[in-house]
């Protein structure tokens, strides 16, 4: 298994990532807000799949809970059609997501294609695969869980702000991928470059924008849900 960095990625592309969440089936509120702020949908909705890694003592999970300012989150990511039971070919990449407060960026590494999710799981359970990822993040890590959700993509009229809306959030243990636990949340995220923070405040922090950005980690919520259901 070959892992190599994608040329287009840079460790310098920092951006703000502001999240807002509501209980499930409330995504129409997000859509109305974006419509009022002159956002337009730019891509077809698709399912996002993420397989997260952590250490034996859940270092990355604990750092998020404790609010450690400078942290990373390694995961595999791939995309599928919306059909619930279709086994699409997987074109996966490794993402090392770096976070400092509300500012973050990602490093991407290509890892190749797999016939389906079962072939991917078989591959990541091999020692060689885990060792290569562990060498990249400089600590021994193991596959923990998989999240899935349906994502819609939006862009502001001035092209300065991107937004996504995530619905149908579910989590499963890597050891039992068929047992999916719903998270019962809808998430909106606004992403923009650091230089546009004043523009963001002028555009969004106003009397007609009632939502307050809140911390939300799909990985952390996924761990808590799996623990609650005795699956991890």
| pLDDT surpasses 90 at 12 | no
Domains in the chain: boundaries: 4-228
Chain center to CA of 67:
18
Q: Which residues pair with 149 in a beta bridge?
A: 48
| pLDDT surpasses 90 at 153 | yes
Which of 22, 67, 53 is CA-nearest to residue 188? Answer: 22
Specify whether the CB–CB gap between 19 and 103 falls below 8 A: no
Provide the CB-side half-sphere exposure for 150 (13 A, CA): 13
| pLDDT surpasses 50 at 7 | no
What is the structure's pLDDT at 86? 66
**How far is residue 51's CA from residue 225's CA, in Å, rounded to a whole number?**
16
What is the structure's pLDDT at 127? 84
What is the structure's pLDDT at 226? 96
What is the structure's pLDDT at 47? 95
Q: Residues of the chain with pLDDT > 70: what percent? A: 91
Q: Which residues pair with 146 in a beta bridge?
A: 51, 172
pLDDT, tens digit, 9 for 90 and up, residues 176-226? 999 999 999 999 999 999 999 998 988 887 767 778 888 899 999 999 999
Which pLDDT band holds residue 230 (cuts at 50, 70, 90)? very high
| pLDDT surpasses 80 at 83 | no
Specify the higher pLDDT residue, 182 or 8: 182
**How far is residue 107's CA from residue 71's CA, in Å, rounded to a whole number?**
13
Q: Mean pLDDT of all residues in the chain?
A: 89
For CA atoms 218, 224, 230, 232, give the dihedral sign: positive
pLDDT, tens digit, 9 for 90 and up, residues 156-190? 999 999 999 999 999 999 999 999 999 999 999 99
Which pLDDT band holds residue 84 (cuts at 50, 70, 90)? low
Which pLDDT band holds residue 10 (cuts at 50, 70, 90)? very low
CATH architecture of the domain 4-228 equals Alpha-Beta Barrel (3.20)
Mean pLDDT of 84-106: 82
pLDDT, tens digit, 9 for 90 and up, residues 32-76? 999 999 999 999 999 999 999 999 999 999 999 998 888 999 999
What is the structure's pLDDT at 232? 84
Specify whether the CB–CB gap between 111 and 119 falls below 8 A: no
Q: Sort 218 into a burial class: Cβ within 10 Å, 0-12 / 13-18 / 19+.
A: buried
Which pLDDT band holds residue 11 (cuts at 50, 70, 90)? very low
């Amino acid at each position: 298994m070959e892992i190599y960095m994608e040329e287009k990625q840079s460790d310098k592309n920092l951006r703000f990532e502001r999240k807002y969440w509501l209980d499930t089936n409330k995504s129409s509120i997000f859509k109305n807000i974006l419509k009022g702020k002159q956002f337009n949908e730019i891509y077809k909705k698709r399912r996002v799949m993420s397989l997260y890694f952590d250490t034996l003592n859940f270092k990355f999970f604990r750092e998020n809970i404790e609010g450690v300012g400078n942290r990373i989150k390694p995961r595999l990511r791939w995309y599928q059609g919306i059909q619930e039971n279709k086994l699409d070919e997987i074109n996966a990449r490794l993402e090392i997501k770096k976070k400092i407060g509300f500012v973050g960026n990602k490093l991407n590494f290509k890892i190749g294609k797999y016939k389906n999710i079962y072939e991917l799981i078989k591959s990541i359970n091999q020692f060689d695969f885990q060792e290569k990822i562990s060498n990249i993040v400089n600590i021994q890590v193991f596959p923990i869980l998989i999240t899935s959700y349906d994502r819609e993509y939006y862009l502001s009229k001035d092209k300065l702000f991107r937004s996504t809306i995530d619905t149908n959030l579910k989590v499963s243990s890597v050891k039992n991928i068929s047992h999916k636990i719903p998270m019962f949340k809808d998430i909106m995220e606004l992403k923009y470059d650091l230089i546009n923070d004043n523009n963001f405040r002028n555009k969004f922090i106003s009397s007609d924008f009632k939502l307050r950005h809140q911390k939300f980690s799909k990985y952390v919520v996924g761990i808590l849900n799996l623990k609650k259901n005795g699956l991890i």
